[in-house]
Amino acid sequence: MENNFDVENFLQKKEDVSNHLDNEKSKFDQLQDLLSRESRVYSEVVKNINGKTDGQTIFLCDPVNATDLFVAISKRLIEKEMTPVIVLTTVNYKAAKKVLKEANIEDKVILIDTVSKGISNVVDQEKVLFVDSLRNLTQLQIKIVKIIQANENISFVFDALNVLELYHSQTIIMKFTYSISKLLKKNKLNAYYSITKASFAPKLSQFFDNLVEIRKIE
């Protein structure tokens, strides 16, 4: 009886299976690294967010953790039965919704997008408000007041404040930060601000109750 066993074909299939398994393992390892990074950032956030008496807190973090940070803060606030209002400066609402969906909190936040209007035609929608750009700080403040008037049990989460440096002088940034922190304190609202530039910390920390540094987490 003739033996039709194809050695080359068998070896090729074996190699294909091996490559597939290697690829899957690589994807799994990358996912584990990502989850580990997110969980470590979240762990740092938990140490510093207790609830409704936090006041105004500024977080200094590495740029690589900027998105992880606002997601972690939002997740923690939701656990404390508050609604996060996230002011986006480094990503648009679509990118933010994607990472928030991965954290299972997409529908539990309110977004103020300062990025999208510069690149596309967008209009305010439920739980997503748009500002022309970070150049228009007056409009941003109006949107914040609008949200305060229409919602209860909210806390504000500001994406990297130092991005304002691309549009404004430090004097204007300081005045804006003071104005916003004063507004939120007047309304007895907690707020959590992030910066990704260490040199901003000494200048801005005077406006806040707490300064938290989160070292780079990869």
Percentage above 90 pLDDT, the chain: 68
Is the pLDDT at 144 greater than 90? The verdict is yes
Please tell me the pTM assigned to this model.
0.81
Is the pLDDT at 179 greater than 80? The verdict is yes
Q: How many domains does the chain have?
A: 1
In a domain, 18, yes or no: no
In a domain, 4, yes or no: no
Lowest-pLDDT choice from 3-17, 138-152, 166-180: 3-17
Looking at residue 83, what is its pLDDT?
A: 97
pLDDT digits (tens, 9 = 90+) for 8-62: 666 666 566 665 555 555 555 555 555 678 888 999 999 989 877 889 999 999 9
Looking at residue 118, what is its pLDDT?
A: 80
In a domain, 123, yes or no: yes
Burial tier of 13 (Cβ tally within 10 Å: 0-12, 13-18, 19+): exposed
In a domain, 136, yes or no: yes
Q: How confident is the model at residue 130 (pLDDT cuts 50, 70, 90)?
A: very high
In a domain, 2, yes or no: no
Minimal CA–CA distance to 120: which of 100, 95, 99, 140? 95
Is the pLDDT at 125 greater than 60? The verdict is yes
Burial tier of 188 (Cβ tally within 10 Å: 0-12, 13-18, 19+): exposed
Q: How confident is the model at residue 101 (pLDDT cuts 50, 70, 90)?
A: very high
Q: Residue 100 sits in which domain range?
A: 39-213
- Please list the alpha-helical segments (H only) found in the chain: 7-46, 66-79, 93-102, 137-150, 170-186, 201-204
In a domain, 150, yes or no: yes
Q: At 182, which CATH number?
A: 3.40.50.300
> What rounded mean pLDDT belongs to the chain?
87
Looking at residue 115, what is its pLDDT?
A: 94
In a domain, 1, yes or no: no
Is the pLDDT at 2 greater than 60? The verdict is no
Looking at residue 145, what is its pLDDT?
A: 96
